[in-house]
Amino acid sequence: MEKKMTFNYFYGTEADQFSFYRIPKALFTDSYFKDLSSDAKILYGLMLDRMSLSIKNQWFDDKNRAYIYFSIEDIMELLNCGRNKAIKSMRELDDETGIGLIEKRRQGFGKVNVIYVKTFMPEKTDEKKFEEELKKFKKQTSVENEESTEVYNSNSMKSQNQTSRSPENKLQEVYISNPNNTNLSDTEMNDNKSNHIISVDEKRFDSDNHSEDYQAYENLVKETIDYESLEVTHHDDMRQVDEIVNLIVETVMCKNDKILIASNWYPASLVKKKFLMLTYSHIEYVLHCMRGNTTKVKNIKKYLLAALFNAPSTMNGYYQAEVNHDMPGLVR
């Protein structure tokens, strides 16, 4: 019998120095993937990792879709399993025989199949999908806030009994008198022209809903970008990550028809859809870009908006350019 190995504890942030295979949390939490075996989930994580090699080698088809080579022998070696189990795991992921997370293309007799690894986010992830998710998170948030709402109502009743003026009249008077006491100049206010201005009535009646919507969107964004994993792998950058999350939520909740990104106006629906589809990799890419930027950023909010908006379109090209710079002799 082999001697049992002794392992040490992790101290401080020592875990950050190691590399890990990443398996999307959705494969374990989303009911759609509940019947997928653990081996198939691990295999999908291995295939996602192999995608980085494809991007470095520029393995793209004529439609710019990345693909990988992953043989049954590779699966047997990495999962330490037999051929039958390797084939079964592959079939669970296949679009023809399984759940549809991969698509195989045959290249001919004796050649390894080309495999397209598909995103675990459903193709029909449109605004209706996010509305459903938002309702789910709003329901969770409303339950958490029930107790605080009861306390607020109780205090409000006491306050009304102690004064002869109604809260509505008082709110309107404060709203009207506050502008006379402001220290902001006209020049300073000009920078906020794109902010959504709401009426007194909207502000009074929708404040609770606004707070509830914000919390729901924040929870949704954090789940989509795998916030918990970022806390582990980018512990020192979490203040910046929180700023990014707040900016995404703020943009998604904007009421304007158009949103300004890098001096160009885009339909708000397009910007919101792109921001709600940002993943862990996109946030990591934006953090990487910010660390590598040596020029002075005059407007960090404008810079981040542009980086987040362009991340899905520029991330692969950016990493490929770095690979070409570091390894100019790399052959496809």
Give the model confidence (pLDDT) of 120-135 as tens digits: 876 554 455 556 666 6
Span 42-67, mean pLDDT? 89
Ramachandran angles phi, psi of 116, nearest 5°:
-95, 120
Let me know: does 45 contact 52? Beta carbons within 8 Å.
no
> Can you give the pLDDT at residue 151?
45
Among candidate residues 328, 184, 201, 194, the one with its CA nearest the CA of residue 255: 194
**pLDDT score recorded for residue 173:** 38
Amino acid at 166: S
The per-residue pLDDT for 30 is 87
Average pLDDT, the chain: 75
Judge whether residue 105 has pLDDT over 80: yes
pLDDT higher than threshold 90 for residue 77: yes
Comparing 5-9, 20-24, 129-133, 293-297, which segment has the lowest mean pLDDT? 129-133
| Packing angle of the helix pair 83-93, 38-56 (nearest 10 deg) | 80
Q: Look at residue 152 and tell me whether its pLDDT is greater than 70.
A: no
Gap between the terminal Cα atoms of the chain: 46
pLDDT band at 182 (very low <50, low <70, confident <90, very high): very low
Greatest mean pLDDT among 5-14, 187-196, 282-291: 282-291
pLDDT at 253 over 50: yes
Q: Is the pLDDT of residue 38 over 50?
A: yes
